[in-house]
Structure 1
């Protein structure tokens, strides 16, 4: 009877502890979780299960790793916010699976993503023909983002968090030299001051960082 009471008490405490950790970690839909988020959640679940499985174990030994996982998550989130390169390493980058109605087979093999998965996700977005797709991005979360030819097209960012996106420049047929010349026209000589930059309607759209 005592063991049952201990398990019940631990369940109540762990419920509020895990709920608090998830709230602190931020708001994300399950389908938008990164690999790192998923690993943290699985470890928290494993630690909680261990604490409930053995009522005679030291409960503090279960809470300590949970707190450590929370600290690690906050640290990773902080560095991800500060560094685009660190964010790409931890969370990955979206992959272009389709372009102008053509399936990029090489990229699909690289991502171990098959045609059945692609066609299913296209059907889920009410897209009946691959020829109507302008761009399809496989997101790090596994979701498929699709832009149709008759809709507003995706604008490739040229600068994110102070980092020039070389591959995006190539996709719009521009060079880094051209980008620097356009920035200099707007009296910008330090790319690290730029939070976001894109090329829309034959002009650069630039948003500077609020704190630098």
Structure 2
């Protein structure tokens, strides 16, 4: 059972209680943070350059796990730095092992990372694909507009990628397909 405390005690809120509020412990927090930060930077270099610009489910888990493992030893005096360093190391090794498996086994990659979902075919929205829960019609039309599409009829096919991006292939110029106009009409004042 925890000891009673005084609510809205600003000294306790900002500096902590007992030895935890001492200047030496504040210096220790700075040193712990520097160690965890430097170690995390060094190990995440092992993850590779490609992961920075594209965050998939594995990278998302990596960010959460590393952030949690790095954060606790920074300011909890009862969590040794070695424990945090070990957790980060294991997470990075597991991530690299998973990437190795995915690079060598296409079926594992398709199962774990997913496959592109056909959402527009022949200038028409594939409604069944939208029913999967991955993408709504509103999100699809928004993503098409960001690609410069004004009319869905101009789209030969579009795929919703496992990364969350949309790949769009337009009909050649002058194909003349009719379709749904998706540019919002501005409201009149």
Q: Shared fold by TM > 0.5? A: yes
Matches within 5 A, 1:1-212: 1-28=23-50, 32-150=54-172
Structure 1 contact 101–131 (Cα < 8 Å) conserved: yes
Normalised by the length of structure 1, the TM-score is 0.67
1:111–1:31 Cα change, 3 Å: farther
Partners of 1:56 and 1:108 in 2: CA distance: 49
Structure 2 contact 120–157 (Cα < 8 Å) conserved: yes
Runs of at least 4 residues of structure 1 off by over 4 A? none
Structure 2 gap ranges (5+) = 1-22, 174-189
Q: How many residues align?
A: 151
SS in 2 for 1:55: coil
Structure holding more strand per residue: 1
SS in 1 for 2:50: coil
Partners of 2:78 and 2:158 in 1: CA distance: 53
- Deviation, 1:32, is 2.2
1:63–1:13 Cα change, 3 Å: same
Partners of 2:170 and 2:154 in 1: CA distance: 6
Partners of 1:120 and 1:65 in 2: CA distance: 40
- Deviation, 1:97, is 0.8
1:29–1:149 Cα change, 3 Å: farther
Partners of 2:156 and 2:70 in 1: CA distance: 46
- Deviation, 1:93, is 1.1
- Deviation, 1:29, is 5.4
1:143–1:80 Cα change, 3 Å: same
Structure 1 gap ranges (5+) = 152-212
1:8–1:28 Cα change, 3 Å: same
Find the structure with the greater CA-based Rg. 2
